[in-house]
Amino acid sequence: MRRTLIAGNWKMNGDFSANRSLLSEIKAGLPASLNCDVLVCPPAPYLAQCAELLAGTAVMWGAQDVSVHAQGAYTGEISAAMLADCGSKYVIVGHSERRAYHAESDELVAQKALHLQKSGLLPIVCVGETLEQRESGQTNQVVAAQLNAVLDVLGDMAAMVVAYEPVWAIGTGKTATPQMAQDVHQFLRQQMAARNAAVADKVQILYGGSMKPENAAELLAMPDIDGGLIGGAALKSQDFLSIIAAA
């Protein structure tokens, strides 16, 4: 049985004061017995703060990106070893914003995921299609190419999480219907099952297209949706807690 994972992607938001308030409210509002895993991914400068504030709690913390390089003259880059040193367990790679704004290719995303695994960290590999690609019937082709680029290089398919984020449903207020999301999640699991069915059945696949308190329960009820990669709602404690409650 796959355990549900609710992961908050803070993107480029937050400051020391706001983070402290948000995490305090989340910690105070968590149920005594959690039926899901909870993760927050703040901007890199705040990882140490999250590590301090969340130590000893049920909430994990992770990062939003990683370099493919281990160390050296790579100004502005952050290595997997540094993220592990901050206590990170998960790291997001291949987010649609990284692909769009930083021209990250499927191959680069795959190398980042591999680097994370070699460093003992779990990549959250994001895949998803644009509105134009969906309307032209290319959804499966696009997400398969993105996923298979990663699967081709990873040594351990079990040590990863997949997040399906339809680009057209991020920050737009639009959301795929639960059945639309389920169809893609099922397709992604079938892609993994073609390589190893037993392992594919254990891989968590998160939905990352504007999951909110209003739609979380219905989305999470789908058989192949194993959690959410939450954007805007992760910055509001009550919304994030409501999604956790739905899980």
Q: If we measure between CA atoms, which residue out of 103, 109, 39 comes closest to residue 67?
A: 109
What pLDDT, on the 0 to 100 scale, is given for residue 56? Answer: 94
DSSP 26-58: HHHHS-SS-SSEEEEE--GGGHHHHHHHHTTSS
C-alpha pair distances (Å), 113 with each of 51, 120, 123? 22, 11, 5
Q: Is 165 a catalytic residue?
A: yes
72 assigned to a ligand binding site: no
Q: What is the pLDDT along the chain (247 residues), one digit of tens a residue?
A: 799 999 999 999 999 999 999 999 999 999 988 999 999 999 999 999 999 999 999 999 999 999 999 999 999 999 999 999 999 999 999 999 999 999 999 999 999 999 999 999 999 999 999 988 988 999 999 999 999 999 999 988 999 999 999 998 876 666 689 999 999 999 999 999 999 999 999 999 999 988 999 999 999 999 999 999 999 999 999 999 999 999 9
Separation CA 138–CA 122 (nearest Å): 28
Which distant-in-sequence residues (6+ apart) come within 8 Å of 90 by Cβ?
7, 39, 41, 60, 62, 63, 121, 122, 123, 124, 161
155 assigned to a ligand binding site: no
Q: Is 95 a catalytic residue?
A: yes
What pLDDT, on the 0 to 100 scale, is given for residue 172? Answer: 67
Among 104, 129, 165, 185, the one annotated catalytic: 165
242 assigned to a ligand binding site: no
| Secondary structure (3-state) at 227 | strand
Among 69, 95, 104, 214, the one annotated catalytic: 95
Contacts of the segment 45-53: beta carbons below 8 A, 24+ positions apart: 46/14, 46/16, 46/19, 47/83, 47/86, 47/87, 47/88, 48/86, 49/16, 49/19, 49/20, 50/19, 50/23, 51/86, 51/87, 53/19, 53/20, 53/23, 53/24, 53/27
C-alpha pair distances (Å), 22 with each of 12, 16, 28, 242? 15, 10, 10, 14
33 assigned to a ligand binding site: no
10 assigned to a ligand binding site: yes
Domains observed in the chain: 5-246 (3.20.20.70)
What pLDDT, on the 0 to 100 scale, is given for residue 1? Answer: 79
What pLDDT, on the 0 to 100 scale, is given for residue 155? Answer: 80
